[in-house]
Amino acid sequence: MASPTAISPHAGNPVAVTLHGRKLEPNRRIPLNLDWVEEVRANTSAVERRAATHTARRTVKKEHQAAWLLRALACMDLTTLSGDDSVERVKRLCAKARNPVQRQLVESLGIEELNLTVGAVCVYHTFVETAAKALEGSNIPVAAVSAGFPAGLSPLAERVQEIRRSIEAGASEIDIVITRAHVFNGEWQALYDEVAAFKETCGPVHMKAILGTGDLMTLRNVARASWVAMMAGADFIKTSTGKEAVNATLPVSITMVRCIREYAERTGMAVGFKPAGGIRTAKQSLDWLSMMKDELGRPWLEPSLFRIGASGMLADIERQLEHYTTGRYSAAYRHPIA
């Protein structure tokens, strides 16, 4: 990587999705294979060591860091999921999504031709129509959290109807949340049927399955839930709602992306990954990007297969990019989000 443009989000042709030289297809539902679920194992101490060594030995500086930070922006789901959300806040967030980096900074970096935007804007169903109108003509998807978010405990019919309403309102991506009790009870058929029903309702609309990993207790549970969601047709698997006590962590993320890798090896199909919740700094975005590169390879550094659910992280990325161009850190209040 010689410059930020070298890894810019919209430069060059789309990267073919391959693994070990094998071309992969988009994921689709396959029959539930309980043998695959039951044989799952997770070596927690080994995964935790891998996560610890990863952050200690992976670092990029200068123009390479700027390039990776631009990639993080392109893969960001700019999110607002607060109880005090309003129409005006969502409109401001969408304006930021269209222009995530201040104009003078874009000019300093020499990336005007990239038309850099974030990967998507993620909101509650109530604000889908507002976001869709604000993003009209930008090609930025609107992602709606759905299916009884964040607990996932409302009746199935209501959750299915919520998905349908969000799509009708203009959502082009749906982030559903699973019933965690199915995982605790080993009710794999029930979990499969639930996720499959959500995906059937979504149709061609991309669906991310939120596992609520902070609630799942063990990495084995996380891995098993990942396998069932993928077999049920999820386009992405996602760590968290952002509302759990513990949200995205590197050990959980490593566990999930290794499930994605093994699933691709067995089925020839690619599933995306989204860590969400608790990722707030530019340095953390680099940790997750490099983890994806190490574990899955270059194709999983595209917004079509990798998203970071965040909002506050954007301001820190802007500050780091400004430091790259000027040698000075600006005050955080100079980089408002919404």
Integer Cα distance of 338 and 321 in angstroms:
19
By annotation, the residues acting in catalysis are 175, 238, 274
Q: Which pair of tokens denotes residue 150?
A: 């964040």
Integer Cα distance of 28 and 307 in angstroms:
20
Bond prior to 150 in cis (omega within 30° of 0):
yes
Q: How many other C-beta atoms lie within 10 A of the C-beta of residue 73?
A: 25
Measured CA angle at 288 (ends 283, 294), to 5 deg: 125
Cα→Cα distances 193→18, 29, 200, Å:
29, 11, 10
Q: Which pair of tokens denotes residue 123?
A: 């909101």
Integer Cα distance of 269 and 233 in angstroms:
10
Nearest to residue 77, comparing CAs of 214, 171, 159, 11? 171
Measured CA angle at 24 (ends 287, 195), to 5 deg: 75
Nearest to residue 77, comparing CAs of 315, 256, 275, 227? 275
How many whole angstroms from its chain centre is CA 95? 20
Nearest to residue 284, comparing CAs of 256, 328, 314, 245? 314
What interhelical angle do 282-296 and 250-267 show, nearest 10? 30
Burial of 204 (0-12, 13-18, 19+ CB in 10 A): exposed
Q: Which pair of tokens denotes residue 199?
A: 């995906």
Integer Cα distance of 199 and 177 in angstroms:
12
